[in-house]
């Protein structure tokens, strides 16, 4: 099952996450980790979302051990690649592939995730997801907000 633990990431990412978290705290932007590591099956199921019929998506989710989703949830893409740095591969015998190289966040307000990309919880007139991106880049992370299909909650090494 997908992880939200930074310990499931490579040591380099764990170190950069610590710097990222400290800078986010200093900026007054609270957040939670929403994903670190995923299995290949989970990634395939998530990639199907928004691309395949609901029956196909839910069949893939079942194989991955994920709960079914509604047709409304299946109307939206949630990942843009099958070659995600979230993927851990425990079946190839290579220990280097047993840790994720990415994490996703959600900015929080009153302890709850806020998905509005223009949210400004710290009230400094800068969208918090963009500010998080700048912070991530400053600590040496690659920010998904710069991808051809921007993914502002995503960070990787």
Annotate the chain with three-state secondary structure. Answer: CCCCCHHHECHHHHHHHHHHHHHHHHHCCCEEEEECCECHHHHHHHHHCCCCCHHHHHHHHHHHCCCCCCCCHHHCCCCCCCCCCCECCCCCCCHHHHCECEEEEEEEECCEEECCCCCCCCCCCCCHHHHHHHHHHHCCCEEHHHCCCCCCCEEEC
34 in any annotated domain: yes
pLDDT at 80: 86
- From first to last of its 157 residues, the chain has per-residue pLDDT tens of 689 999 999 999 999 999 999 999 999 999 999 999 999 999 999 999 999 999 999 999 999 999 999 999 999 998 989 989 999 876 667 766 789 999 999 999 999 999 999 999 999 999 999 999 999 999 999 999 999 989 999 999 9
* CATH number where 131 lies: 3.30.1380.10
Q: Is residue 133 in some structural domain?
A: yes
In a domain, 18, yes or no: yes
Asked, for residue 45, whether it belongs to a domain, the answer is no
Whole-structure pTM over 0.85, yes or no?
A: yes
Q: Which domain holds residue 113?
A: 6-38+84-156
What's the structural domain count of the chain?
Answer: 1
Domain assignment present for residue 95? The answer is: yes
Residue 43 lies in a domain: no
In a domain, 55, yes or no: no
In this structure, is residue 53 part of a structural domain? no
């Amino acid at each position: 099952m997908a992880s939200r633990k930074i310990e499931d990431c490579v040591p380099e990412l764990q170190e950069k996450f610590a710097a990222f978290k400290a800078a986010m705290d200093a900026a007054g932007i609270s957040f939670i980790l929403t994903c670190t590591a995923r299995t290949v099956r989970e990634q395939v199921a998530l990639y199907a979302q928004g691309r395949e019929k609901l029956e196909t998506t839910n069949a893939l989710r079942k194989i991955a051990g994920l709960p079914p989703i509604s047709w409304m949830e299946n109307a939206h893409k949630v990942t843009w690649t099958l070659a995600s740095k979230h993927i851990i591969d425990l079946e190839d015998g290579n220990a280097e592939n047993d840790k994720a190289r990415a994490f996703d966040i959600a900015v929080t307000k009153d302890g709850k995730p806020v998905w509005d990309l223009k949210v400004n919880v710290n009230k400094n007139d800068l969208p918090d997801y963009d500010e998080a991106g700048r912070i991530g880049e400053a600590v040496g992370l690659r920010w998904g907000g710069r991808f051809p299909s921007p993914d502002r909650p995503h960070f990787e090494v």
